[in-house]
Amino acid sequence: MKSEAGVLSSFPSVEIKHFKLRVDPKIPGKLATRLQVELERAYSELGKALGAWPSSKVTVVLYSQGRFYEATGSQHWVGGFYDGQIKLPVPVKSDEKDPAFRKLLKVVRHEYAHLLVLGLSAECPMWLNEGIAQYFEASYQKDAVYARLKESREARIPLKKMPSRLGKIDDVELARWVYLQGLGFVEFLVEKYKPFRLRLLLRAIAEEHSAATAFERVYGRSTEDLEKEWWKRIENPDG
Ligand SMILES: [Zn+2]
């Protein structure tokens, strides 16, 4: 196994408006170009929604899928990640319309959202960070998300008891549920209070060092209170 740095040194760099890319030569030019378009789109759309703009160019590494898992040591189910740089596995045999490639375009938005969230607040609880990142993956998905939450509402975890770090979750079912609750709650916050307030919330978490205090400050209500209304909406979407 080659070291990640060793592999990277053979990747040509490409600079675009807001990103600096390292591109695995195995990736077809068409796919690399489409990913560049998606990155700039994420920059402008998510930037507007969260009022957050990185002060320097963001580094993105486009690996061919095979090389990604080898070079980063990631598990096979990892679809990309952000560790100060955005790292993505590109399915080199697909074309732009393949489901695998379309999924990767969502990962682009997801990982870019993580970059913005962590830039605003390094202490953002994991469930909220994942909720925001999933929210920005795609446009409207609330109905489906609420239906899944309603179906399994017995498993409901109070937000204050949600695990704050991913490393503490070794149960896959639990991890899925935490992600779903995070997404559902962010859908609720955005619908009721608009996305820009997420930015205020993240700044408040950074200042208060407490998510609970930040929720009180930004939404004028306790987490429990917000949560109660949210579950009421899930159980009775037309009510
Ligand atoms: Zn994520």
For the stretch 78-133, pLDDT in tens is 899 999 999 999 999 999 999 999 999 999 999 999 999 999 999 999 999 999 99
CA of 103 to the centre of ligand 1 (A): 14
CA distances from 35 to 12, 61, 94, 108, 110 (A): 16, 11, 13, 8, 13
Average pLDDT over residues 184-197: 94
CA of 48 to the centre of ligand 1 (A): 20
CA of 138 to the centre of ligand 1 (A): 14
CA of 133 to the centre of ligand 1 (A): 6
Cβ 110 vs Cβ 133: under 8 Å: yes
CA of 24 to the centre of ligand 1 (A): 23
CA of 101 to the centre of ligand 1 (A): 18
CA of 208 to the centre of ligand 1 (A): 24
- 25/7 Cα distance (integer angstroms): 11
Range(s) for CATH 3.40.30.160 in the chain?
4-120
Q: What confidence score (pLDDT) does residue 180 get?
A: 94
CA of 234 to the centre of ligand 1 (A): 23
Q: Among candidates 192, 190, 188, 184, which has minimal Cα distance to 148?
A: 184
CA of 41 to the centre of ligand 1 (A): 19
**CATH class of the domain at 4-120:** alpha beta
Q: What confidence score (pLDDT) does residue 100 get?
A: 94
Lowest mean pLDDT among 55-64, 138-147, 171-180: 138-147
Q: What confidence score (pLDDT) does residue 168 get?
A: 56
CA of 239 to the centre of ligand 1 (A): 32
CA of 184 to the centre of ligand 1 (A): 15
What pTM was estimated for this model as a whole? 0.92
Q: What confidence score (pLDDT) does residue 76 get?
A: 82
CA of 77 to the centre of ligand 1 (A): 12
Q: How far is CA 221 from the centre of its chain?
A: 25
CA of 75 to the centre of ligand 1 (A): 14
- 138/154 Cα distance (integer angstroms): 27
Q: What confidence score (pLDDT) does residue 6 get?
A: 80
CA of 139 to the centre of ligand 1 (A): 17
In this prediction, what percent of the chain has a pLDDT beyond 70?
Answer: 96
Here the tokens at position 29 are 């030019």
